[in-house]
Structure 1
Amino acid sequence: MSHDVVKEYTGSIQPGDHPYLQGPWAPLHQEVNADDLLLLEGQVPTDIDGVYLRNTQNPLHQSMNRYHPFDGDGMIHMAAFRDGKVQYRNRFVQTKGLQAEIENGGRLWAGLMEDPALSKRPGWGAHGALKDASSTDVVVHAGKALSTYFQCGEGYRMDPLTLDQQGVPDWSPEHGISAHTKVDEETGELLFFNYSKTPPYMHYGVVDRSDRLVHYTPVPLPGPRLPHDMAFTRNYAILNDFPLHWDPELLKRDKHVVRFYPDQPSRFAVIPRRGGAEDVRWFEAAPTFVLHWLNAYEEGDEIVLDGYFQEDPMPTNYEGAQPGYERMMSYLDQYKMGTKLHRWRFNLKTGETREERLDDRVLEFGMINQKYAGKPYRYAYSAVQVPGWFIFNGYVKHDLQTGESWQLTLPEGLYASEAPFAPRIGATSEDDGYLVTFVINEKTGKSEVWLIDAKDFDKGAVCKLQLPHQLASGTHSCWANGADFRDGGILARAAMG
């Protein structure tokens, strides 16, 4: 395997004994191009065509005081599959904040666990003092990759194949774009939301397949909230108001302390996809917090919503953690929070909400075949976390019709990424395709890209290829079909007008 080093960055990271600056979370400061990855096992299938994009938290400069992994700078990693060949690229997301800190030679903004007064310049998004790291999520829409930040930022676009930077969308609204924008493959629309500390506290928007903002409306909330994800069906968008949010009294003193209020219900806003604030219908359910939804669809008079219910949204401090990091370690441990696959049903006729548990295992970061997003679906693929750590070591496939499930566990010392579903060319069924994932191999000090046959889940990877370095871990990823973004593709043609 050969590769070209595009750029080496000079950083100022001093890992010390910080648990999320070493091992699978060790920062990477090298950008490369690699067009002939070393095949470690199996053969690269010829019936897959598209790109796998993974966003990682990858800090370049030392924190001011206490580092949180979500403070890391965004770095996108890309594996492109076509005709049995695989190419790899990785690039920092060149945000305005990162560029300013490179010019400064060090941090300019405080992090999640630091005093906002330490920030030397105004920040972005809901918090107001944080850097827009664009390090949380990534999707492909209108032929372009779009990376986003969970506290709301401007959003940054890249070419999905070359990772060339293409700047901020001209439609980015005043309050930014939250992570977890949703792409409807059927309509080509991008659905998004944002949130802030000023009324109405949340907005919802729609960008069409030609990358034009065509709808933007307030969704008023009682106060500042911390929504993290949204869902959609053919006719509706679903937003939320959970009882886990900043303490309103402390917020008056510019202290961003998260509290859980178990006496308040979870609330779900169901809004027509082109509806306004007056069209919102609210449904109440058991108090919880949900980081990620799996899918939603309409069934008769009901909307069915699947996601990961937290049994303990405000867990006790992590025992044995380094002083000062007890709370951080707890909020990064899905076992402490008890994240379980769950289903909500909202009856549009009666206003009633029904709930049921779909699996008692601790699971999160679910993926589906995106062709079925917003529609009735059968198969789901959830990630399994290593207890005590924000890293994954396996997956569970669910058949939601029969209740069957299959689990794949990685060998010790190997850690996976969120794994989107990549359909086979000419697929004939919903699970006819592959899960795609980057795997950190601590035994070799490098990462690998794996394809897992979704129809033969227990077998494991059908092929493994070695990357030229070890990527840092992170949060989200996506798959985009080649025909949807290459020249002549449906989305590429739309983007060109």
Structure 2
Amino acid sequence: MSTPYLTGHYTPHVDEITVRDLAVDGHLPPELTGRLVRNGHNPKPGVTPAHWFKGSGMVHGIRLRDGRAEWYRNRWVRTPALDGAPYMADGGPDLTASTAGTHVIEHAGRLLALCEANLPFELTAELDTVGAYDFGGKLTTAMTAHPKSDPVTGELHFFGSSPFPPFLTYHVATADGEIRFSQEVPGATASLKHDFAVTERYVVFVEGSVTFDPAETSGIPYGWSDAQASRIGVMPRGRGGAEKIRWFAIEPGNMLHAANAYEDRDGRVVVEGPVVDREGFRLSWNWWTGRPGRGTEPVSRSLTRRWTVDLAAGRVGESVIDDLTVEFPTINDERLGREHRYQYAVSFPDERGVGGYGVVKYDRVTGGRQLRPVGDGRLPGEAVFVPAAGATAEDHGYLLTVVGDLKEDASRLLVLDATDLAKAPVATVHLPRRVVAGIHGSWIADA
């Protein structure tokens, strides 16, 4: 039986390459001066991990400048785990034995490859590995793969989670990269916390129905539990806020990625993100582990849900706001923590095979949804928003997505007009190989 995360769009590369002067159709806007860097799982030749997420991280970079695509390169993140070092050592977890394959961000001039069970790994601008980074010795927990950079203060908000106490530790780093404070969050459990959200005044954690399961044999010790209470924790931002966290019950489910959170005009905390139910988690997990009874896609029954937390009344309103199977939600990050109108995602066929791959745009004011299919045999990656020069509207900018094509065994970087996904691509960059379908990435502007 084939392993789904090592076949088709997910077939790993066996080498590292650098190719310069890539062909471009259309016109690359001058404000696209920087690097699109994307991360994903790519085990070395001969290695078959027992779980998709156990595959070693490989970063892919595309350098754009002055209307040209200067280079493409791919590099493994050279952590101890790449050479087989175990996560659990005699003295406990080795936070440097990371796959470093989930995300890649830039903060305070450092490019960091992330995996939620470990320390970040610093990379050079050319994607070579520098080594594990612990914020000058101040980070002693793992670091989430989904930190949040406040667009106003420049602070980096993140957390470390563990299946063992302390289950959750919250950190804030300054804009220049110094950890300002760290605090344990009381009342947290071993529930899987892959992502979280921040608003102008609050930090929001979502504990779902997936929690630590020591009987799980894939190397990722989590599983669905009907006994695990699903809830949202809302705590004030700032030093000492953890002691004031409040937990609110929600319907069972599991959210991997938050689109955004904000405070509405009535002071309620609104959170959105794709959520799976028990069957969706079962189908997805079996795909991630290559077991029978799996779905045909890495995400199944993943529907966008909205929670509205009324802090004054002590209750939560909850609804599924769309019937499209989506994942990897993104926004214009200048709206992070503030009310946003537009959000984007990647669509997948549902568990019955209905629908297809595409890039989605939601208008939260009109309730409209625009879907751009990418064609048969093609899979788009996470759509990263980049503002246009002099932008005056929230969606005035570009969506950058790497689209793999199985028929041509090739990939392209599409630059889409975020104001209207029906328009022809602003530019298409032809990449020198089919890029393995990955997870998350970032646009890192030169400015």
Quick one: which of 373, 378, 384 aligns to 2:347? 384
Matched residue of 1:355: which SS?
strand
Quick one: which of 438, 443, 446 aligns to 1:479? 443
The equivalent of 1:73 in structure 2 is: 56
The equivalent of 1:198 in structure 2 is: 164
The equivalent of 2:319 in structure 1 is: 356
The equivalent of 1:415 in structure 2 is: 379
Matched residue of 1:70: which SS?
helix
Whether 1:58 and 2:42 are equivalent positions in the alignment is yes
- CA separation of 1:339/1:189 partners in 2, compared to 1, >3 Å: closer, same or farther? same
The equivalent of 1:271 in structure 2 is: 236
Whether 1:231 and 2:194 are equivalent positions in the alignment is no
- CA separation of 1:169/1:247 partners in 2, compared to 1, >3 Å: closer, same or farther? closer
The equivalent of 2:391 in structure 1 is: 427
1:155 deviates by 0.5
The equivalent of 1:165 in structure 2 is: 129
Moved more, 191-200 or 272-281: 272-281
The equivalent of 2:69 in structure 1 is: 86
Give the distance between the partners of 1:430 and 1:331, measured in 2 at CA: 35
Matched residue of 1:471: which SS?
coil
User: Which amino acid in 2 is paired with 1:355?
Assistant: E
The equivalent of 2:113 in structure 1 is: 147
Whether 1:366 and 2:341 are equivalent positions in the alignment is no
Matched residue of 1:264: which SS?
coil
Contact kept, 8 Å, 2:204 with 2:232, in 1: the verdict is no
Contact kept, 8 Å, 2:229 with 2:249, in 1: the verdict is no
Structure 1, residues 384-417: CA drift from partner, whole Å, max 9, x if none? 124469xx82111011011111100011111111
Contact kept, 8 Å, 1:193 with 1:205, in 2: the verdict is yes
Give the distance between the partners of 1:247 and 1:28, measured in 2 at CA: 32
Contact kept, 8 Å, 1:142 with 1:188, in 2: the verdict is no
Give the distance between the partners of 1:310 and 1:323, measured in 2 at CA: 17
1:456 deviates by 2.2
- CA separation of 1:268/1:166 partners in 2, compared to 1, >3 Å: closer, same or farther? same
Structure 1, residues 259-291: CA drift from partner, whole Å, max 9, x if none? 221673323233324334312122222221111
The equivalent of 1:461 in structure 2 is: 425
Give the distance between the partners of 1:322 and 1:76, measured in 2 at CA: 20
Matched residue of 2:177: which SS?
coil
User: Which amino acid in 2 is paired with 1:429?
Assistant: A
Whether 1:282 and 2:265 are equivalent positions in the alignment is no
The equivalent of 2:308 in structure 1 is: 345
Matched residue of 1:193: which SS?
strand
- CA separation of 1:352/1:17 partners in 2, compared to 1, >3 Å: closer, same or farther? closer
Percent sequence identity is: 30
Whether 1:470 and 2:434 are equivalent positions in the alignment is yes
Structure 1, residues 10-58: CA drift from partner, whole Å, max 9, x if none? xxxxxx832222221111133233331012x322222433321110111
Give the distance between the partners of 1:315 and 1:291, measured in 2 at CA: 11
Give the distance between the partners of 2:318 and 2:273, measured in 1 at CA: 11
Quick one: which of 253, 271, 276 aligns to 1:310? 276
1:205 deviates by 0.4
Whether 1:218 and 2:184 are equivalent positions in the alignment is yes
Structure 1, residues 45-73: CA drift from partner, whole Å, max 9, x if none? 22433321110111015347x63221111
Contact kept, 8 Å, 1:315 with 1:331, in 2: the verdict is no
Give the distance between the partners of 2:337 and 2:418, measured in 1 at CA: 21
- CA separation of 1:205/1:234 partners in 2, compared to 1, >3 Å: closer, same or farther? same
Matched residue of 1:166: which SS?
strand
- CA separation of 1:197/1:311 partners in 2, compared to 1, >3 Å: closer, same or farther? closer
- CA separation of 1:263/1:449 partners in 2, compared to 1, >3 Å: closer, same or farther? closer
- CA separation of 1:84/1:325 partners in 2, compared to 1, >3 Å: closer, same or farther? same
Supply the RMSD in Å over aligned alpha carbons. 3.0
Give the distance between the partners of 1:313 and 1:418, measured in 2 at CA: 24
1:382 deviates by 1.1
Whether 1:295 and 2:260 are equivalent positions in the alignment is yes
User: Which amino acid in 1 is paired with 2:18?
Assistant: N
The equivalent of 1:43 in structure 2 is: 27
User: Which amino acid in 2 is paired with 1:197?
Assistant: P
Give the distance between the partners of 1:314 and 1:447, measured in 2 at CA: 29
1:476 deviates by 0.9
- CA separation of 1:245/1:209 partners in 2, compared to 1, >3 Å: closer, same or farther? same
Give the distance between the partners of 1:331 and 1:205, measured in 2 at CA: 38
- CA separation of 1:387/1:344 partners in 2, compared to 1, >3 Å: closer, same or farther? closer
The equivalent of 1:136 in structure 2 is: 102
Give the distance between the partners of 1:189 and 1:363, measured in 2 at CA: 29
- CA separation of 1:140/1:255 partners in 2, compared to 1, >3 Å: closer, same or farther? closer
- CA separation of 1:200/1:271 partners in 2, compared to 1, >3 Å: closer, same or farther? farther
Contact kept, 8 Å, 1:289 with 1:313, in 2: the verdict is no
1:323 deviates by 11
The equivalent of 1:489 in structure 2 is: none
Contact kept, 8 Å, 1:33 with 1:90, in 2: the verdict is yes
Give the distance between the partners of 2:194 and 2:267, measured in 1 at CA: 27
- CA separation of 1:431/1:154 partners in 2, compared to 1, >3 Å: closer, same or farther? same
Contact kept, 8 Å, 1:139 with 1:183, in 2: the verdict is no
1:196 deviates by 1.4
1:135 deviates by 0.3
Give the distance between the partners of 2:109 and 2:431, measured in 1 at CA: 25
User: Which amino acid in 1 is paired with 2:41?
Assistant: Q
The equivalent of 1:27 in structure 2 is: 12
The equivalent of 2:362 in structure 1 is: 398
Give the distance between the partners of 1:433 and 1:257, measured in 2 at CA: 39
Structure 1, residues 230-280: CA drift from partner, whole Å, max 9, x if none? 1011122111222221247x58xx993512216733232333243343121
1:80 deviates by 2.5
Matched residue of 1:35: which SS?
strand
